[in-house]
């Protein structure tokens, strides 16, 4: 590290990802060099992010002004504990994804040559940029960086299904970004700036309420589309299962969570939900529907990747439900659950990738007898499934416990019931996969599976990436107290937006 | 073509306090190249101007980001402009702002040509 | 002036949305372009159309703000947004061309492969 100045540390992950993306572009014909660049840079970014997290334990936030311009004019960069956690998780997933896609068996060399690594790095750069920015227009720019790279990732290789899913993804996300731009226009027109802190200060004025409510709704729709909230989620299951699994895993783990992050940021800082009662009620209903519809979709579908995509949607519902309950404990639970779910969801897609590689198919009906042949994979999958559902010792339990506890304290009994039903149905959807693909004896005429020893030798990178994330999950599961405490402090920070404003404006 | 190149460089270097700058300059240059491409076809343009769009884009982006990072080494804030005392006739004052503009110029030229090539390449 | 641009923006929004919802590829492209331009114009008028002069007078090295200047911030936003929408539009055009080549259809309603259970 060239310097441990906190302001430099907070831009470090962003810069590392962007510069390594550029270097990958420079060596676009040499896959081996790109691979080395990507793995080393994501490791460095992880170290920087952990250091930043450590710094935030003491200070609470880091902020800086780009180019030294003063507050309402320049772009603010702001990292608090929530953003720090998200950046660290992004870097962690970057490491895992680059290990997973290391081998040409997972992602063909041709796809790597036509720009997998640069697009991946620019997407990660865009995501870290969206996490650290303190300016609404800058957020739009990072969103676009992230989206254009993810467009490239999702359509990489130009298979027919990929392109068809890609159209839906591209057009709907284009409309979402346009809505964000419209909201920015309204907010700029009424208050005269786009800096989040300055906006939060001026939006407290009730005289502006009628017109800024329009902006709030536009932001809700825009971020709702990106986070796959209930009425706006249709693009996700149409596109997420089409690209190669290495791409699906990283895209599914990260992109919707950026939508969730911005939503939590917006509706605690700019439009605190306790002042916008209707929005809170809408969000509460929409998130319950998201949870239910997602899990019902997961039960209905017969393709492992689609089951996982729908269960992702239902978990988005959980997280946003935590936001809409809007107590400190509920938001802490939402943050904890976001982090847990980024880990587990990515890893489940990794496991699905291994299943697909071993069995040659993703259709549940065509896979059988995995438990007899691949015991290690079965162990990984059942652990992940139980973690996702939230069986007591695992991290899903802690997140869900925090959420439900907070919900009961806030007297939201109806929606707590819906969340609990959803959990039960998630268990059911996971057990369909477990019993049909793993426990059922292998068909005689079905495809012959390789013995696990041979298979691991072929695809050890996939196992390493999966085991790496599983170890982190276990570490959080059996050692949750520091993370729970950290998320609680992050939530308290989020619920006191005046701190944010003071930190940025009076520096 | 030389006229487009000369005018685009002129726009690039007058950019700081006058209308102009890296983006506009790059657009002018790529208009010239795209005309050439329409007239003679993509392979001819590639052969004559020996352009590697990927390298052009990435070098441009690297120069720009170097301009952004450079202030970190001089005790400045991220992206802060650094001005030197060197004046070159016709170019103005050397600074990290100019460096950023040059980077943008290369990157935009590269990416626009990449787009144009891939649309025209049947 | 403001009324004219407002009406134009509304018209562009309506046309863009209509074309976006249409099932033909070419109309989708036109819709994306119109919707993007409508957003940019909306940014311009929402920022307020004040002043008609450029921000800085130049000629010497001193750059001074003047009276009757236009608000530069929406212009900067729009410039950025135009660049971004250029990228998105180029991507959409290439994407639709590839879809046309692989699926051999010009009708969005037939692209339902990814929605099967």
pLDDT band of C68, cuts 50, 70, 90? low
Q: How many CA atoms lie within 13 A of A404 on its CB side?
A: 16
Find the residue in A nearest to B65 (Cα).
A19
pLDDT at residue A496 above 50?
Answer: yes
Whether A144 and C103 lie within 8 Å, measured CB to CB: no
Instruction: Classify burial at A39, counting beta carbons within 10 Å of its beta carbon; exposed 0-12, middle 13-18, buried 19 or more.
Output: middle
CB contact under 8 A, B115 and C97: no
Question: Which pLDDT score is estimated for A446?
Answer: 53
- Give me the residues of chain B with pLDDT under 50, please: 89-91
> Quick check: C94 and B18 CB within 8 A?
no
Question: Which residue did the predictor score with more confidence, A147 or B53?
Answer: A147
Q: Are A303 and A340 in contact (CB under 8 A)?
A: no
Contact B62 A26 (CB under 8 A): yes
Residue of C nearest to A239 (CA): C114
Tell me which residue in B18, B23, B115 faces C58 most closely, judged by beta carbons.
B18
The whole-angstrom separation of Cα A430 and Cα A427 is: 5
Q: Give the Å distances, CA to CA, from A477 to A48, A263, A441, A482, C87.
A: 24, 26, 32, 11, 43
pLDDT at C72: 75
Q: In chain C, whose CA is at the least distance from the CA of A164?
A: C111
Q: What's the CATH code, domain C2-51+68-108?
A: 1.10.287.3510
CA angle, A32 then A38 then A39, to 5°: 95
Average pLDDT over residues A304-320: 90
- CB contacts of B78 in chain A (<8 Å) are 7-8, 11, 64, 66-67, 77
End-to-end alpha carbon distance in chain A: 26
CB contact under 8 A, B119 and C93: yes
The answer to whether the Cα torsion of A351, A353, A359, A364 is positive or negative is positive
Cβ proximity of A462 and A100 under 8 Å: yes
What is the mean predicted confidence (pLDDT) over A304-328? 90
| Residues A23, B62: C-beta atoms closer than 8 Å | yes
Distance CA A279, CA A216 (A): 9
**Partner C, chain A 214-243, Cβ-Cβ below 8 Å:** 237-239, 241-242
Backbone angles phi, psi at A269, to 5 degrees: -95, -55
Neighbours of chain B (3+ CB pairs under 8 A): A, C
- The reported pLDDT for the residue numbered A1 is 39
Please state the domain extents for chain A: 276-501
Alpha-carbon distances, residue A224 vs A197, A218, B33 (angstroms):
22, 9, 42
Query: Chains meeting C at 3+ CB pairs closer than 8 A?
Result: A, B
Kindly report the average pLDDT of chain A as a whole number.
85
- Chain A residue nearest residue C73, CA to CA: A193
Number of Cβ pairs < 8 A linking chain A and chain C? 98
Using CA atoms, how far apart are residues A322 and A446, in angstroms rounded to an integer? 45
Measured distance CA(C39)–CA(B40) in Å, rounded: 37
Torsion of CA A21, A244, A104, A363, to 10 degrees: 160
| C90 with B119: Cβ contact below 8 A | yes
A87-96, A315-324, A447-456, B69-78: least confidently modelled range = B69-78
The candidate with the shortest Cα–Cα distance to A265, out of A13, A82, A505, is: A82
How many other β-carbons are positioned within 10 Å of the β-carbon of residue A195? 26
Q: Is B54 on the interface with A (CB under 8 A)?
A: yes
Residue C45 to chain A, least CA–CA distance (Å): 8
Digit-coded pLDDT (tens) for C87-113? 888 888 888 888 888 878 777 777 776
Please give the pLDDT value at position A116: 85
DSSP conformation class of A443: P
pLDDT at A461 over 50: yes
pLDDT at residue number A93: 92
B62 contacts in A (CB within 8 Å)?
A: 19, 22-23, 26
Q: What's the pLDDT at A288? A: 92
How far apart are alpha carbons B11 and B26 in whole angstroms? 9
Residue ranges covered by each domain of chain C: 2-51+68-108
pLDDT at residue A3, rounded to an integer: 47
Is the CB of residue A412 less than 8 Å from the CB of residue A322? no
pLDDT tens-place string over residues A112-131: 777 788 888 999 999 999 99
**Probe site for chain B from A2, A9, A14, A25 (most B CB atoms < 10 A):** A25
- Residue of chain A whose Cα is closest to the Cα of B81: A67
């Amino acid at each position: 590290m060239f310097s441990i100045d906190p302001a430099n540390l907070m831009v470090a992950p962003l810069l590392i990802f962007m510069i390594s993306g550029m270097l990958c572009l420079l060596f676009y014909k040499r896959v081996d060099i790109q691979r080395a660049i990507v793995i080393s840079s994501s490791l460095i970014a992880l170290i920087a992010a952990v250091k930043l997290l450590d710094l935030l334990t003491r200070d609470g936030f880091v902020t800086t002004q780009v180019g030294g311009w003063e507050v309402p004019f320049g772009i603010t960069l702001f990292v608090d504990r929530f953003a720090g956690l998200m950046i660290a998780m992004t870097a962690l997933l970057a490491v895992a994804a680059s290990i997973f896609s290391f081998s040409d068996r997972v992602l063909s060399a041709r796809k790597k040559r036509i720009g997998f690594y640069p697009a991946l790095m620019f997407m990660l750069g865009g995501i870290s940029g969206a996490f650290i920015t303190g300016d609404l227009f800058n957020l739009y720019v990072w969103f676009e960086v992230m989206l254009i790279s993810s467009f490239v990732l999702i359509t990489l290789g130009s298979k027919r299904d990929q392109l068809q899913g890609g159209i839906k993804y591209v057009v709907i996300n284009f409309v979402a970004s346009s809505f964000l731009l419209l909201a920015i226009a309204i907010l700029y027109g009424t208050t005269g700036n786009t800096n989040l802190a300055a906006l939060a200060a001026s939006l407290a004025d009730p005289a502006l309420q009628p017109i800024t409510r329009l902006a709030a709704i536009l932001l809700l729709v825009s971020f709702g589309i990106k986070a796959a909230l209930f009425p706006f989620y249709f693009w996700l299951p149409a596109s997420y299962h089409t690209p190669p699994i290495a791409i699906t895993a990283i895209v599914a783990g990260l992109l919707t969570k950026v939508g969730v992050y911005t939503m939590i940021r917006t509706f605690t800082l700019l439009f605190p939900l306790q002042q916008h009662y209707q929005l809170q009620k809408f969000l509460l209903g929409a998130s319950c529907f998201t949870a239910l519809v997602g899990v019902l979709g997961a039960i209905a579908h017969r393709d492992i990747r689609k089951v996982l995509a729908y269960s992702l949607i239902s978990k988005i519902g959980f997280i946003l439900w935590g936001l809409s309950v809007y107590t400190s404990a509920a938001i802490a639970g939402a943050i904890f659950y976001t982090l847990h779910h980024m880990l587990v969801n990515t890893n489940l897609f990794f496991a699905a990738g291994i299943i697909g590689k071993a069995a040659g198919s993703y259709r549940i009906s065509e896979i059988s007898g995995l438990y007899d042949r691949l015991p290690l994979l079965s162990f990984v999958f059942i652990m992940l499934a139980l973690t996702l559902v939230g069986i007591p010792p695992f991290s899903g339990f802690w997140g869900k416990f925090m959420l439900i506890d907070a919900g009961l304290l806030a007297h939201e009994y109806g929606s707590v019931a819906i969340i609990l039903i959803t959990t039960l149905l998630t268990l059911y959807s996971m057990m369909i996969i477990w019993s049909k693909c793993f426990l059922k004896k292998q068909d005689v005429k079905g495809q012959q599976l390789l013995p696990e020893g041979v298979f691991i030798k072929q695809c050890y990178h996939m196992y390493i990436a999966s085991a790496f994330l599983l170890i982190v999950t276990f570490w959080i599961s059996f050692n949750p107290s520091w993370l729970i405490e950290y998320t609680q402090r992050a939530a308290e920070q989020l619920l006191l937006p005046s701190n944010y404003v003071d930190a940025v404006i009076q520096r | 073509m030389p006229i487009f190149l000369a005018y685009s460089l002129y726009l690039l270097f007058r950019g700081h306090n006058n209308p102009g700058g890296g983006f506009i300059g790059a657009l002018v240059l790529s208009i010239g190249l795209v005309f050439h491409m329409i007239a003679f076809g993509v392979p001819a343009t590639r052969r004559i101007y020996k352009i590697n769009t990927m390298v052009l884009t990435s070098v441009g982006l690297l120069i720009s980001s170097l301009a952004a990072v450079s202030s970190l080494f001089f005790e400045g804030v991220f992206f802060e402009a650094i001005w030197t005392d060197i004046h070159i006739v016709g170019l103005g004052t050397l600074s990290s702002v100019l460096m950023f503009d040059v980077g943008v110029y290369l990157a935009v030229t590269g990416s626009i040509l990449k787009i144009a090539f891939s649309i025209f390449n049947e | 002036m403001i009324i004219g641009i407002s009406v134009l923006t509304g018209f562009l929004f309506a046309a863009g949305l209509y074309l976006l919802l249409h099932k033909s590829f070419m109309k989708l492209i036109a819709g994306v372009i119109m919707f993007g331009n409508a957003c940019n114009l909306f940014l311009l008028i929402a920022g307020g159309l004040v002043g008609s002069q450029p921000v800085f007078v130049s000629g010497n090295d001193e750059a001074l703000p003047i009276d009757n200047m236009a608000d530069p911030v929406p212009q900067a936003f729009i410039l950025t947004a135009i660049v971004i929408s250029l990228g998105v539009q180029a991507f959409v055009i290439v994407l639709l061309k590839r879809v046309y080549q692989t699926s051999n259809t010009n009708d969005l309603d037939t692209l339902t492969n990814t929605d099967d259970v």
